[in-house]
Amino acid sequence: MTTTEAPPGSLPGTARAARPQERTAQRRRAILDAATRVFGERGYNNGSLVEIAEIVGITHAGVLHHFGSKEQLLLAVLAHRDEVDIERLATQQRPVGAEFLSHLVATAQANTERSGIVQTYAVLAAESVTGDHPAQEFFRGRFAVLRGDVADALGLTVGAPASDERVVAAASAIIAVMDGLQVQWLLDAETVAMPDTLRFVIDAIVESLRRSVAATP
């Protein structure tokens, strides 16, 4: 949600200087929202800056003024999505161990209410493997960080080092099942229950890892 009204609580002394900055921030936010929608609907390659500009009600050159290039805009969309998720997390203590795994299930639950951003992510992640896609490094890095986070949580949960190769493989499997379920769910939301299925798989994997670690520490 963006609004053209000034937010309440601006400091009196900074009001005059802040207003153009606020307008810039609101404009950037509106462009990011529009770009998220357009890239989600058409992919990056086929999404057009002209369409994004039309949604915001500015010119193509106006979009470039704020983001420099289509590639930069894509990377800003992806970074923006992560910021939103981090803001949601920041209101609570960052969960660890089994609670982090439950947080993944809660994210899958939240995703059932935001198919737009789920679609943007699913389409761009797959498209990023092609040729010299501008988001390729972003997604390669993102998957590496996610695998590390999930491996930390799994390791804590089953009592094994996060570097144990069974733990790392299990971490990449959990991320894979989240991503793969998103595509199936986007095509057939009535059949595919993302959060319940993810919970089942995480529990199955944790149980199996636990037995494996107990047998061969």
Binding site for a copy of itself (CB under 8 A): 40-43, 45-46, 119, 122-123, 125-131, 136, 139-140, 143-144, 147, 166, 168-170, 172-173, 175-181, 183-184, 186-188, 191-193, 196-198, 200-201, 203-205, 207-209
What span, in angstroms and rounded, lies between the C-alpha atoms of 124 and 40?
Answer: 8
Side chain identity at 159, as an amino acid letter? G
Between residues 90 and 169, which has the closer beta carbon with respect to a copy of itself? 169
Collapsing DSSP to helix, strand or coil, 201 comes out as helix
Amino acid at residue number 38? V
CB of 120: closest distance to a copy of itself in angstroms?
Answer: 10
Q: Which is nearer to a copy of itself, 101 or 205 (CB)?
A: 205
CB proximity list for 177: less than 8 A, separation 6 or greater = 197, 198, 201
- Give the burial class of 162: count Cβ atoms within 10 A of its Cβ; 0-12 exposed, 13-18 middle, 19 or more buried: middle
Asked whether 169 and 158 are in contact (CB, 8 A), the reply is no
Q: Report residue 60 as tokens.
A: 């193509």
Nearer to a copy of itself, 114 or 200 (CB): 200
Which residue number, 128 or 157, has a Cβ lying nearer to a copy of itself? 128
What is the rounded CA–CA span in Å between residue 49 and residue 31? 10
Which residues are CB-contacts of 150 (< 8 A; sequence separation ≥ 6)?
100, 101, 104, 171, 174, 175
Nearest approach, Cβ of residue 91 and a copy of itself (Å): 29
d(CA 101, CA 203): 9
Nearest distance, CB of residue 108 and a copy of itself, angstroms: 11
By C-beta, is 22 or 179 nearer to a copy of itself? 179
When the beta carbons of 27 and 117 are compared against a copy of itself, the nearer one is 117
